[in-house]
Amino acid sequence: MKSVRLALLAGASLAFVSPAFAQQSAPPIEQDDADDFHGTIVVTTGGLRQLDVLAGTSVMRGDELQRNLSGQIGEVLAKLPGVSATSFSPGASRPVLRGFQGDRVRVLVDGLGTIDASNTSADHAVTIDPLTAERIEVLRGPAALIYGGSAIGGAVNVIDKRIPRGVPDEPLHIDAFGALDTAYDLREGGASLDAPLGGGLVLHLDGSHRRTDDVDIPGFVIAEALRQDLLADAAEEAEEGHQDEADDLLEAANLRGTLPNSATETTSLGAGLAWFGPSASFGISAGYYDSLYGVPARPGAHHHHEEGEEEEAEEEHGEAPVTIGLEQFRADLRGSVELGGVFERITTRWGYSDYTHTEFEGDEVGTTFAVEGIEGRVELVQRERGGWRGVIGGQYLFRDFAAVGAEAFVPPNTTESFALFTLQEVALDPFELEIGARYERTDVAAEALGAARGFDSLSGALGLSYSPSPGVKFGVNATRTARAPSTEELYADGPHIATQQFEIGDPLLEEETALGLEAYARASVGGVELSASVYRNWFDDFIYLQETGAEEDELPVYQQLQQSADHFGIEASASVPLLEAAGFRWVGEVGGSYVEATLADGTPVPRIPPLGLLGALELQSPRWDARAELEWYAEQDRIAPFETATDGFAFVNLSLAWKPLRGSENLTVMLQANNLFDSEGRRHASFTKDFVPLAGRNVKLTARLSL
């Protein structure tokens, strides 16, 4: 990286703490309750009692996290209302929030970005190992004020314990996890330990390893419409006397049962050290993430090579499989100091990343991507006065990106952004008002092209809620958000081996802005949990990647385009106790979401997930939990030009959890049967949906231990 410049300003953060610990600078570590591995979670941003008005939130933890754990964060969250996944391959899947993906969704570790290449392209994995996650928080809606313009669709925050959050009241605390399954031939395990060293010092160590083989799938690899095209092409080749070509096409069309080149292997290691004093705390951590995963090939696609390069060998032996190997070293810092006067405390959080990602064709190195960057924030938390509380802060990011190789479709570039923001909350019982404002300056430069752009973005939000009784809240939000185009959207120009696309950016793209309205209702009364939202966003200069129908270097051309767009959506969930008897409790759950997004010219926005519904029935007891659920997704035939429709599908999932130990020592053993009836499913939000189906029937055994 040409320069890494530290700044004393950064953005707001989400703190996940037990209510009793919220105002303590050196709290004891959270203790497990009778039914879970983790204590109560309050979602806050510094100075606000609870981040609840300006953002709809979901928290995944404990049994739910164990039941949905997967190798990529997108798959972990895909069942939540308003959430889908890019599902590019088993080794790369990023969250899709309210139909938004890529640079409109921020994926965070303890409030800071991953500083990798996952926002560059759908084939790039997120450098977070969900196995090390303690809990995961999803913010939908106007989270841009907290995390910046690139969170215009929302944010996912993964909380781990690499920087300890308090001093354990035991000599050694150990968490461990292990899993096996049948569809992926999964073998994974991980463990962490936390130990007080005296004098307010706490040590943390963790490590995990995950390995899978090519995934088992139901039916054919290729979607039926594409399969019929391949069969027709094969017949035509045979008629013209090209039997070898016809045989290759027939082989591709008839692949079934296993998804070739979809195996993965991932290792992560981490260590942290924190000090807690009477009025201050400070912690650091270091982590290493290494992953190797296959990229399933698009049938009929050809890899781009320099003129004359290995063409004869390819004619004889066919295309080499593409795999991606990535490594990331990451260092993090967190600190807090109590203050007097107007401000209660000052907190800071910084992260540094050195990331390398190599795309291989067989044993040959294709293209190498390198990202080095730093992100940080500082926030001043205001002391509460007369029901008024808030935070003032700022955020800094510097990212140096380089790609080297024949298919370096994005030139070397740098991105630097600096932001100032404030969030204010006023309690006017039974009303609550939240006001936010953010200014962000973003500079994007590609020296090799002699190109540089600068963007000044202003965002604001106003949220008003009404609580007629405890646990019941109605509210409305109005927002204005802005996002600077990313370097990939501006300057991409070339073939990309892993996505098998020829991608073209537009250096003249303007800043993307949106006006939004959202109304919601939330209730938590008598064990009943209800949540519903309806929202609409009106975009000016909406940026989207659209297939053009052209070909370049035998690859389909995708181009970054821009016009106004309209997004409308509904999402809802409910959890209702049905019956309680003989020490058992029956609970019913339902949830669903729908998004409709239309461009100004009347065509649909590409890759918008269809209507999705989930229903579940759960039998709960102190020792046993049994759950049956049905996932259902409608057909998506409201499609953009050159996009293919996606068939609807339904999965039936069963799980049984046994908890032989409770209290301070916890063990949960879980047996699952996912996609019980071996149904074929494809996610419409995925670029690879027509040749990367979801896994078939999968029997999985997991164990999670805390002591």
Cis peptide, bond prior to residue 430, ω within 30 of zero: yes
Query: For the chain, how far is it from start to end, CA to CA, in angstroms?
Result: 42
Instruction: Walk me through the domains of the chain, giving residue ranges and CATH numbers.
Output: 15-172+259-621+633-642 (2.40.170.20)
Residue 29: per-residue pLDDT: 31
**Rg of the chain, C-alpha, whole Å:** 25
Residue 35: per-residue pLDDT: 38
**Alpha helix locations (H) across 400-536?**
487-491
Identify which of 414, 486, 399, 417 has the alpha carbon closest to the alpha carbon of residue 456: 417
Instruction: State the Cα angle at 662 between 657 and 668, rounded to 5°.
Output: 25
For residues 137 and 61, what is the distance between their CA atoms, to the nearest angstrom? 9
Q: Which residues, other chains included, contact 229 with Cβ-Cβ below 8 Å and sequence gap of 6+?
A: none
Residue 12: per-residue pLDDT: 30
Q: Dihedrals φ, ψ of 423, to 5°?
A: -130, 130
Residue 558: per-residue pLDDT: 93
Contact 152, 514 (CB under 8 A): yes
Contact 553, 501 (CB under 8 A): no
Give the predicted TM-score (pTM) of the model: 0.89
For residues 69 and 701, what is the distance between their CA atoms, to the nearest angstrom? 12
Residue 301: per-residue pLDDT: 54
Which residues of the chain are under the pLDDT cut of 50?
Answer: 1-45, 47-51, 302-318
Identify which of 172, 163, 110, 195 has the alpha carbon closest to the alpha carbon of residue 273: 163
Q: In what order do the strands lie in the sheet with 154-159?
A: 56-61, 135-140, 154-159, 105-109, 112-113
Residue 355: per-residue pLDDT: 96
DSSP code, position 92: B
Amino acid occupying residue 666: N
3-state secondary structure of 229: helix
For residues 336 and 391, what is the distance between their CA atoms, to the nearest angstrom? 14
Q: How many CB atoms lie within 10 A of CB 564?
A: 14
Residue 167: per-residue pLDDT: 92
Residue 625 forms beta bridges with which residues? 620, 657
**What is the Cα 85 distance to its own chain's centre?**
8
Name the token pair of 593.
């979401």
Residue 397: per-residue pLDDT: 95
**Cβ neighbourhood burial of 77 (10 Å; 0-12, 13-18, 19+):** buried
CA distances in angstroms from 513 to 98, 203, 564, listed in the order given: 17, 44, 9
Residue 212 forms beta bridges with which residues? 264
Residue 672: per-residue pLDDT: 98
Residue 455: per-residue pLDDT: 96
